[in-house]
Structure 1
C-alpha cells in the first residue's frame, strides 16, 4: 500500500502542475483530514482526474467511478504516468463484464442475462476462459495490462495472450490494487460491489465520483425499463418452460394491461405497487421462476450441442421483468409507464435522494468532482450528507473556460408550454439555420425534450438527430467538420460527447433552444414530494427546476471548450435565461441580448469574423 503527500510533484502523475492544481491540492489535503465528503468544482481542462488521484492516494484503496466505460482510459493514462514515479502503485479497472467476455464478442447481451449464464457455465466448468484463471498470478496479469494505452487494448491482450477471462482477471488484480477505476454500478450498486470484493467492506474504500452532478437526479443512476412487448414474451416463456404458472402469468398480464391503460404519451405515469400486489414475497417468487426459466434455456442449448457462445448470448425476457421489479421492495423506488410512438414501456426509477445517500455514506470518504456539482447546501439538506467541504478551483487560480466564450441571448424566443406551436417551432428553426449557415465548425443545438426537438427539426431538415437509443459511437461515425447536431439536454450526447482534433474542440457553437426544465409528470411529482419533506416548497421548486436546468445547460456549453485554445459562441434561445433564479446557478456573463432575426444574423456575422 502506498501512502503519499500531495505537497510533492513526485506524487502527481505529471511533471508540472496546471494553473490552480497545486493550490487546490493543498487546500483539499487539509480539508480531507477533517471531513468525509469533499466536493471539487473545476472546469474542463483543469485536470480533475490527476488531482483526484493524488488526493485519493492519501487514503487507499480507492474506487474511482466514471459514468461510462469510455471514460476509463483517461484515468488509466494518469495512473500509468504515476506508476512510473511510484513503482509500487498497483491499479486495475472494471466495467461491464458482458462487453468484455470473449464468448459474446460481436453480440449484444443483456447484463442480467449474461451474469446468470456466466454463473451457470462457471459452475459447470464449461467456460475455458474462467477455468484457466486459477493458474495465472496477479503479477502476470499486471505485465499484460499495464503496457496498454487504453482499456480496450488491455482487455483484448488479456484474452489473446493469457487465454483467460478478462473480467475476472481484472477483478483478481483489483483485489490487490491501491486504485481501481470502475463504472458507476460498482460504486452505486452494493450487490455489484460485493460480487467484486467478496471479502471487503465498503467502509474500507475511498471513493471518487466523476460527473458528480448526476446525483442531483436519482433516476439518472437508478432506473431500469422493459417494454410491454418483452413482458408478453415473458408470458410465452412461462407457458413454454413452466407449464403455464397461472399466478405468474396473472401478474405479468396485469403489468401489461395496467401499463396499456395508463400510458398515453411520453409523460411518466406512476403505477400503484399495491394494486399490482408487488411485495418482497412476489419479487422473490418472480426472481426464482426467472432463474428456473433461464436454467432450462441453457440446459436446452447445451443438450442440443450449441456452442458456448450461443448459450451466453441467449436471453430470457422473464429475467428482464425480474430485474425491473427487484428494486421495488426498497424505499425510494417507484414503477412508472410511458408511451413512445407505438411502444409502451415500464420503468423502475429512484424517486428519493435517500437511495444515493444510503450507498455513498457507507464508504470511507468521498471526493465528488464536476464542473457543475450540486452545492454544499443541497448535499447536506437533500442528499443527507454530513460535514461537506466545497472547493472551487476557479477561486484558487484555475483557468476559466468562460474566458473563451461569447454568450448571446435571444429575447424573442421562449419554449414555454403556453406558447408552443408551429409558429414557435418554425421561429426556432430560423435561428438554428442562421447558425448553421454562418458558423464554420460543429454546431450543437440542445433542446428541452425529444418532442420539442422533433418539432423544430422538421423545419430545419438537416443534421444528426439524437434518439432515445442513440450511442456516442453512432455520432462519432457521422460527425464531420461542419456537422449540425440536434440533442436533448441531459442526454447522452450533451453529457458525454467530446468532439476534438489534435486536442482542440470542433464544436464552435452551442445553441440552447429553450430552458431545459423537467417535464411535468408523475415522476416529477414524486421527486417533488420527497424534496418537500426536507426543504420548503419554494426551495424544492428551485432545486428541481432552476438548479437542474442550469446544470444541464452548463454541461451542454462545456462540450465546446476542451482546452485553452478553444473558442465558442453560446446562444441562449429563451428569454427566461434572464430570470434571477436561473442566473444565480448559471453564473454566465451574457454579452449581448438580441431582439430579432435580423439583429441576430448581424451579430453572428461579426463574431464569426472577429472572435471565432
Structure 2
C-alpha cells in the first residue's frame, strides 16, 4: 500500500513539474486548471469534457496529455474539418518555441490528410475530380520517384525521421496546417510524392492529427491504424468537436444524384436496388456485398476518367453513390424524399476507440453531458463541464417568452415571419457590429434576408469564402442571414486580426430536425434500447441543441471577444440549456438589456 501511495505521489509531482515546462502561457485560467486536473486524475479511460469556445481548452488538453505521456505512448487527435487542426498546431507552436529557447526537444504533429490537399499536381480545376479518383487522373512521376528514393536509401526509419523532423522544425508560433502542407509539398519535393512521405512518417509518429473520415469510415480507419502500426492500449485518442458524433444520421443522398448515376453508367445491381426502394416505407437493411459497391466505384471511376480526358470538369455521381454506401452494413436505409442512412445503433460508433489507453471527447457543445454520454454509449465515462468566468462577463444570453416568437411547423406563416423580422430589425439597431441571423433552413434564410433587406445571405452551393470576404470588407455593420446546419454554422470564423467581427448571434427559431416519416421510423427503432421518450428526445431535442450551440459559437472565438446570444423562440426557457440566460418578455426588454450590456463594454 505504501509503495502504491509513493508511486502515486511521484506521478503527481512529475506531472505538474512537466506541465510547468510545457504549458504555453504564464498562468492557467481557472477553467484550464479544471481541465488539466481532470486529465491528471483520470482513472477512467474515457473522459467527456464540455468547455466553452474561448476557454482555452485546446491548450489545456494538449499540455496535460503531453505531461502525462509515457515514453512509448502515442497521441491521435481527430478534428471534424481540416481548418480545426490549426488550433492544435498553434498551441503546439507556442510549446515548441519555448522548448527551443531552453534547449528542450520539440514536438512533431503529423497531419494525415487526403491526397487532394497535398498533391503538387492538383489545381483548383482538377481538385474535385482528383478527390474522387486520385492519382489515375494524371501521368504522375512523383510516386515512382518516392519509391526510387526509398529503395536507394534502404533505410525506412531515416526517411520517416526526416519527414517528422521537418514537420517539427516548422511548428512555430502562428503556423497552421496550410504552412505545414506547403512545406511538405515544396521543401521535401526531392522525396517525390508528399502524400506517401506523410504516410511513411505515421509509422513512428508520437502524435498524429487527422479528420473524422478516418474515425467514422471503417476502411479508412483500418488504413490509418495499419499505417500507424497502432497499439490502442498504449494510445491516447482525442476527438475534438465530439458533439458531431451524436447524430444517428450519417449520410444523405438525393434521388437526383441516383438518376444522374444511372445516366452515367446505365444499369447496375446497386443502382437498381436503390431505385426499387425509392419512396418505400420502413427501415431497410441493404443486401449488398463490399464487392458490389467496389464494382460500382470502379464503373464510376472509369466514366469520370473518360470524361476528364474529354475535357470535362464534372464530378462523378456514380462515385458519390458508392461513397454514400461505404458503411451501409452498420446502417438502415430510409427513403423519404431522399435516401438517408441511420446507424442501427449509435452507441457502437465509438466501440473501436474504447480500447484506447485514454479516450477524451472534447466539445464546447456537450451540454447536457449525460445525454451525450448515453447517446454515444459511454454512460460510465468521467464527465466535466467548464464555464468560463471571463466569457460569462463578455457575453450576454437573452431568451424570450413572447408567444409570437416560435417556429413550430404548425405555426409558420407569412405573418409570423414578418413579426420575427420586425423584432430582429429593432434589435439590430442597438447591436454595434455585424450580426449573424440563423434560421431553421435555407428557405427561411431566403425569406428573412429579403424581409431584412440584407444582401449577405448564405445560399445552397455558394462559395462561402466570397460571402465572408464581402462581410469583412463592409464599411457598415451588416446582418448576415444563414441556415442552421449550413456552411457558416459548421465552423466558419468571421475574424480579423484575431478578433471576432460578430457582435451578436440571433437564433430565429429553434433548429429542430424537420418532421418526416424517416425520423419517426428511426425513433421507433431506437426506442427498443433507449425507450420511446428518450429516443424522441435524442433525435429531436438533442439535435436542436447541438445545432443551435454550433451557430452561437460563431461569435466568441477568444476570451476577449464581446457579444450577445439572442434566442428568439419561446420554447428555449424550458430546455434548461443556458444557466446564465436572461428571460425577456418582449423585444423592448431585450433592447434595454442590450443597450446596458454594450455600454458597459464601451461598444454602444
Normalised by the shorter chain, which TM-score bucket?
Answer: 0.7 to 0.9
CA offset digits 1:64-116 (Å, max 9, x no partner): 111111111221122233334351533211223223222222135458x6464
Instruction: State which of 481, 488, 502 in structure 2 corresponds to 1:486.
Output: 481
Alpha-carbon distance, 1:424 to partner: 0.3
Aligned mate of 1:538, from 533, 540, 544 = 533
**Residues 211-610 of structure 1: matches in 2 within 5 Å?**
211-219=241-249, 222-225=250-253, 227-238=254-265, 248=268, 252=271, 255-256=274-275, 259=278, 262=279, 273=284, 278-281=286-289, 284-292=291-299, 294-295=301-302, 298=305, 316-330=316-330, 332-338=331-337, 346-350=339-343, 352-373=345-366, 375-385=368-378, 387-394=380-387, 398-410=388-400, 411=402, 412-470=404-462, 472-480=464-472, 482-579=477-574, 582=575, 584-590=576-582, 592-595=583-586, 604-605=594-595, 607-610=597-600
Residue number in structure 1 paired with 2:36: 25
1:53 maps to 2:62? yes
Q: Is the 8 A contact 1:91 1:180 kept in 2?
A: yes
Total equivalences in the alignment: 561
- Distance in 1 (alpha carbons) for counterparts of 2:417 and 2:273: 39
Aligned mates of 2:490, 2:16 — CA distance in 1: 30
Q: Return closer, same or farther for 1:491/1:162 CA change in 2, 3 Å cut-off.
A: same
Structure 2, unaligned runs of 5 or more: 1-10
How far does residue 229 in structure 1 lie from its aligned partner after superposition?
A: 4.3
Question: Counterpart of 1:458 in 2: which secondary structure?
Answer: helix
Whole-angstrom CA distance in 2 between matches of 1:424 and 1:301: 49
Q: Within 5 Å, which residues of 2 pair with 1:45-84?
A: 45-57=54-66, 58-59=68-69, 60-84=73-97
Match of 1:181 among 209, 212, 225: 209
Q: 1:572 offset after TM fit, Å?
A: 2.0
Q: Contact between 1:6 and 1:12, CA under 8 Å: does it hold in 2?
A: no
Q: 2:183 aligns with which of 157, 160, 163?
A: 157
Q: Are 1:425 and 1:456, in contact at CA under 8 Å, matched by a contact in 2?
A: yes
Secondary structure of 1:510's match?
A: strand
- TM-score, reference length from structure 1: 0.81
Once the two structures are TM-superposed, the CA of residue 530 in structure 1 deviates from its matched residue by: 4.1
Aligned pairs (5 A) from 1:172-211: 172-198=200-226, 200-201=229-230, 203-204=232-233, 205-211=235-241
Q: 1:553 to 1:424 in 2, by over 3 A?
A: same
Deviations 1:534-558 (A, max 9, x none): 3332233333333332333333233
Matched, 1:91 2:109: yes
In 1, Cα distance between equivalents of 2:315 and 2:567 = 45
Select 2:22's aligned residue among 11, 34, 39: 11
What's the secondary structure of 1:518's corresponding residue?
Answer: coil
8 Å CA contact 2:217–2:326 kept in 1: the answer is no
Q: From the superposition, tell whether residues 484 and 473 of structure 1 become closer, same or farther in structure 2 (CA, over 3 Å).
A: same
Deviations 1:181-227 (A, max 9, x none): 111112232321322342524624321111111122133xx3253x4
Q: Distance in 1 between matches of 2:39 and 2:539?
A: 29
**Kept in 1: contact 2:440–2:508 (CA 8 A):** yes
Structure 2 Cα separation of the partners of residues 44 and 224 of structure 1: 29
CA-based RMSD of the aligned residues comes to 3.4
Q: Which residue of 2 aligns with 1:105?
A: 123
Q: How far did 1:43 drift?
A: 1.6
SS of alignment partner, residue 15 of structure 2: coil
Scaled by the length of structure 2, the TM-score of the pair is: 0.82
Is this contact kept in 2: 1:63–1:207, CA < 8 A? Answer: yes
SS at match of 1:415: coil
Rounded to whole Å, the distance in 2 between the matches of 1:500 and 1:119 is 39
Structure-1 separation of matches of 2:379 and 2:570: 37
Q: Which ranges in structure 1 are unaligned for 5 or more consecutive residues?
A: 240-245, 263-268, 339-344
CA distance in 2: counterparts of 1:376 and 1:599, whole angstroms: 32
